[in-house]
Chains A and B, each alone.
Chain A
């Protein structure tokens, strides 16, 4: 029923056009076609050029710092703008720790959500649940930050941190004064932001697992959970790993929410209560006030490192997702 509709409309436009000016269309079409093709090609090449420009700008901007510090830049922990001594180790550390903490919290939840939506929940609940979890991804980072400052951090300070210090203080990860603000708060807010990404990719690869796999495992007498574990999750594991890595990419580059709650102190501390600093946050905080060329250049070099790492992470993730979904017909060609 719906088939003819999209065809009908354009057909009218097309035929009336041809009838009204048959000569013009015939005479110019080759030239016009070539021009149009070139214009579209130019737009396509723009995308290519953009990545080139990004790389060029970052490399150009970071040259000064690279010459001054070399590879040592990433292994020194002194960050002293006054004496022009720059080492990015605390930021690398903060970025890695906050991101892994986020993944640790987010991945089990995200997989749970994906399993629930694709395999367990009643059909009528599927759409609304999927939409709601994706809504989490639509909330801007700065709003998460605002919420974290005024809701999450006080909660952590009053209940979360004293509680974990009392029962898990012996691990050494939960020591020191409970500021609320610090690595733990950053990890939690990042986890909330990463969940929708991991769960939507997980959902996608789980849906790509053929229905026969499920039926085959069920036919062997498996319970629903055994079917999900052996029939679905095991087949989709590469893709799920891809989703997790994509989440990691997001967490590594996330700026505003983290900047607002991590405490912004370039220190390396074992305790998760202690304030830290991430690569993205230091750029956000200090870039517009950086005095001196080396200072600015050091910040751009951090940006370059962030750029390269996220690109590698994203390529890896896409490859992993592709290994699972390649067999299924792409949705766009349905």
Chain B
């Protein structure tokens, strides 16, 4: 008697986790492939390879001497990140305590989070000008929303036993300070540290809107084709990120903060009347303030057709997510102890760290110079950066696993031992990242990709604050919706044990 294997592949049917995740992934990939023709992926520059070679030469032979006052730019970058994170913490912590109690607080925090640091910067730029106040507010406000949510989650997950063990009659404040706070402290500190690292990257990016951080010189050097200088600045940035564990020591931070505070000036003189006018009038459509409903409809019709921009934003978000998945799948073995030799692993981890610490906007900017303005540079940047980030975390997860069968060939180890165990976490991380990807999709518009961010940037430039603010609200609404969707669809079986993947 012969037994024939089932004709249909097993992933096609079945309710187990494996087949379900496989179907899930394939649906996602199929959707991306189906919509791919709608994306503009053309390469516009005539000779990207020559340009790439010039950039590589610039990176290989950086011109250190050409960088203008690098220490001031570095100091300002650190100082903005430090004070911005600190202000976000101070604002976010009280919100975290109210987070589970108040729907209003949750909704406002979701809104604050949904708008990217750079868009906040564009908004505050109109009132505070090119000053440290703009930079600090641009970091502190979204971070307050993020801290509120993450701190609240961490506090909620503290063990209940120590609080239950307290004798009766202990007040809420004392209970919090003696049990919940010390129990949550290590995770709170770890997350704050991670957020500070994000703050550093964001602080660099603020240079792209004109604030004099490292990013400003970087953008100018790249845009003007001075690649040797750009190379030096890029190395400076990598050194800054790589040396973070050494200079961000707990005892050193207060010194850095106080020293850095002197770099933040000169402070702008805030005209409160102007500020109030901006908040109460400039950013709202005139017809709305006058309660003129027909006028509001005409106002809405004058807004350029948003459908393509929204379509592009969502499409780029989807492509970026699927691209990240593929990049992560291909790249994680490069940095895992289960594959290759010491040299290949070192090179693999180096590549992942490099891609993961370069902000998307910067990657996209470089690809844009290489390939010309289409969706392709943005897609590549999103896929490479987020894919590398996920791959790095998955490789660390893989390193903590011990395969049951030791002498399998590499392919068998990958397909039978490791991937089945890692894939649920990989997908969970991807879904977590999807919201971040969408938020960054919007800011890539600032580079000329026709997403919502493109129109936001444009309207700010034309001083049409009402339209820009309206588009910001639309972007935020989409981010919140996609966050809710990804929360709904992400596999519940894989708990995320990786700290700091939240936002």
- Are both chains from one complex? no
